Amino acid sequence: MEQETLEITSSKAKVSQRLLKGMTAEEVEVFIGAYKRSKRVLSKINEYATREAAAKLKNIESPEAFNIPNWDKYVAWNAGYRHAMRIIQDMTR
């Protein structure tokens, strides 16, 4: 039932299924409408998250990272931040 609703209501809007989890059909309809009206804002947030994720990946892959005294914590912090930005990208796509 939920899958049918998603196919019908979100044919143009690419809403993450994570955001729709647990919603009734009526709640999905309201959410899709709000999503379509907020697309410009969500697009900007997605662009920001994309830039941040790319920057953190660059930090992780940088040879200079190995010269940092606690490089393992540095890499873990950047990887965690990148993961959070990827989740934001998925939710705002």
Residue 2: pLDDT band with limits 50, 70, 90: very low
Residue 81 has pLDDT above 70, yes or no: yes
| pLDDT, mean over the chain | 83
- Would you kindly state where each structural domain of the chain is located, as residue ranges? 1-37, 39-93
Distance CA 40, CA 21 (A): 23
Residue 63 has pLDDT above 70, yes or no: yes
Percentage of the chain with pLDDT > 90? 41
User: What letter does residue 68 receive in the DSSP assignment?
Assistant: S
Nearest to 59 by CA among 68, 47, 69: 68
The Cβ-side half-sphere exposure at 45, using a 13 Å CA radius, reads 15
User: What letter does residue 38 receive in the DSSP assignment?
Assistant: T
